Structure 1
Amino acid sequence: MNEPSARRPLKVRDVKLVNTFARYLSGKNITPNQISVTSVFFALLAAACFLLFAHYAYWWLLILAGLMIQCRLLCNLFDGMVAVEGGKSTKSGELFNDIPDRIADPLILVSAGYAIHIVSYGGELGWCAGLLAVMTAYIRTLNASIGAPVDFKGPMAKQHRMAVLTIACVITALEVVFQQTDYTLLIALIVIIAGCVITCIRRTVSAYRFLEA
C-alpha cells in the first residue's frame, strides 16, 4: 500500500463512523489485500446487474447495481485505512491496491454501456469509458514512475466516475418506471467519457510542466 503522502485525498477518512469501522476491520484477521480483491467481487455483481437489466429491464436491477458500486468503493476506502491506519501494510500492497481497480472499472463501465436500450452504440460507449478510465490511472502511475508528483486530479477520477454512475442508476431506475427509457444512463456515460479525456489531459500537462520546470 502507498505511503500516506501518495494516497488519494478523501475527506470521508475523517468521518468518525468510518474510522470506527476501519479500526474494527483492523482488529480482525482480515488483510488489506483481501479487502482489495473483494472490490472486484462487488464490481462483478454490479456488472451482472447491468447485463441482466439489458435483457429484462427491471428497474430494481439498477438500484442494486448502484449499491454494488458503492460497496466496491467502500472496499477501496477500507483497504487503505486498514493498511495505513491499521498498520497492516505489506510490500505487495501496491499491487493489490491498483490491479483490482483496473479490473473493476472496465467491468462496471462496459456492462453499463450494454445496459442502455435507447441507442445501438451503448456497448461502444461502455468500452470507451472503460478504456479511458484505465488510461487515467495509467497516466497517474506513469507520472509517479518518472518522478512527477502522484496526481489524483479530476474532473473524472475514480470516485467521480462511480458517483456519476451511481446517481445515474437511481435516476434511470425512476426513468424506467415512469417513462420506460434510459436516457440518464446514456448521458452519464457520455459525461464520464468527456471527463476522463479532460482528466487525462490535465494529468499529462501537470507532469509535463513539473518535469520541464
Structure 2
Amino acid sequence: MTDANFSTNRRPVAARGSAWAAKLTTLAVQRGLTPNQISMASAGFALLGLGFYVVSPLGPGFVQWLCLILAAIACEARMVCNLIDGMVAVEGGQGTPDGAFWNEAPDRLSDLMLLTGAGIAAGNAGLGAVAGALAIACAYLRELGRAEGFAPDFGGVFAKPGRMIALTIGTVVAAFYATEWSLQLTLWVIILGTSVTLVGRAYRLIEALNARKL
C-alpha cells in the first residue's frame, strides 16, 4: 500500500502549511491547550452541530435558517480542531501516549453526530445514520491497514475532508433553499461518495495483504 493515496503517518492537508493554522497552533500551545483537549473540543462542536440540526425543523423560517448556518459553522469548527490537534501534538511537541485514542474516538463520534443530525433536519434520520456508518467504516479500514503494518490509507474523494465540505455546502444551501430536499440530496451524495471511497480502500488493503510475503 504505497501509492499516492497514502501518507506515512498523517492525512495530507494543504491547510497545515498555512499561516493561520500556524498561528492557531502557536496560540493553543501558549494557552496550554493539549492535543487531547482540542480533539475533545472537536466532538463538542459536533454535538453543537447535532443540536442545531435537530432544532432547525422546529422553528419558524429565521430560526431554521440560523440553526442551519450555525450547524455549518460547527462542521467547519470541528475540522479546524481536527487540524490543530495534530499540529499541537507534532509541530508543538505536545503529543501524549494516549493521543491515538483521542485522535480517533471523538472523530468517529463526530461523524455520526453530524451526519445523523443532518438526516434529522432532512426528515430522514436513517439516511444520516447510514452516511455516518459508512464514514466510520472508512476509518476502520484505514486503521485496520495501519494495524497490519501498512501506511494509513487516506485516499478517496469522500474521505473526511470531502465529506465535511459536502455537508457544509449542502447545509448552507439548505438554509436558503428547499431544506429537506437539499439535505437529503447532500446525504445521498455523501453516501455514494463514501461508498466508493470505502470500496477503494478495501480493494487496496486486500491487494496489499495478498502481496505481502507470508
Runs of 4+ in 1 over 3 A off after TM superposition: none
Structure 2: stretches of 5+ with no match in the other structure: 1-6
**In structure 2, what is the Cα distance between the partners aligned to 1:144 and 1:18?**
27
Question: Are the counterparts in 2 of residues 136 and 196 from structure 1 also a CA contact under 8 Å?
Answer: yes
Q: The residue matched to 2:45 in structure 1 has which SS?
A: helix
Query: Alpha-carbon deviation of 1:182?
Result: 2.9
Match of 1:125 in 2: 127
Which deviates further from its counterpart, 44-53 or 24-33? 24-33
What's the TM-score once normalised by structure 2's chain length? 0.91
Question: Are the counterparts in 1 of residues 8 and 151 from structure 2 also a CA contact under 8 Å?
Answer: no
Query: Alpha-carbon deviation of 1:23?
Result: 1.4
1:78 aligns with 2:104: no
Aligned pair count reads: 202
Q: The residue matched to 2:21 in structure 1 has which SS?
A: helix
Match of 2:186 among 185, 188, 192: 188
Query: Alpha-carbon deviation of 1:124?
Result: 1.3
Which deviates further from its counterpart, 25-34 or 60-69? 25-34
Question: Are the counterparts in 1 of residues 45 and 75 from structure 2 also a CA contact under 8 Å?
Answer: yes
Query: Alpha-carbon deviation of 1:186?
Result: 0.8
Query: Alpha-carbon deviation of 1:56?
Result: 2.2
Question: Are the counterparts in 2 of residues 148 and 211 from structure 1 also a CA contact under 8 Å?
Answer: no
**In structure 2, what is the Cα distance between the partners aligned to 1:136 and 1:54?**
30
Match of 1:90 in 2: 96
**In structure 1, what is the Cα distance between the partners aligned to 2:8 and 2:26?**
20
Match of 2:148 in 1: 146
Match of 1:69 in 2: 75
Match of 2:13 among 10, 14, 20: 10
Match of 2:107 among 101, 109, 112: 101
Query: Alpha-carbon deviation of 1:212?
Result: 1.8
Query: Alpha-carbon deviation of 1:12?
Result: 0.3
Query: Alpha-carbon deviation of 1:148?
Result: 2.5
Match of 1:162 in 2: 164
Which deviates further from its counterpart, 18-27 or 8-17? 18-27
Q: The residue matched to 2:177 in structure 1 has which SS?
A: helix
Match of 1:34 among 17, 34, 37: 37
Query: Alpha-carbon deviation of 1:108?
Result: 0.5
**In structure 1, what is the Cα distance between the partners aligned to 2:78 and 2:152?**
23
**In structure 2, what is the Cα distance between the partners aligned to 1:145 and 1:212?**
16
Letter in 2 for 1:47: L
Query: Alpha-carbon deviation of 1:71?
Result: 0.7
**In structure 2, what is the Cα distance between the partners aligned to 1:41 and 1:201?**
30
Match of 1:174 in 2: 176
Match of 1:50 in 2: 53
What's the TM-score once normalised by structure 1's chain length? 0.91
Structure 1: stretches of 5+ with no match in the other structure: none
What is the aligned-residue RMSD (CA, Å)?
Answer: 1.3
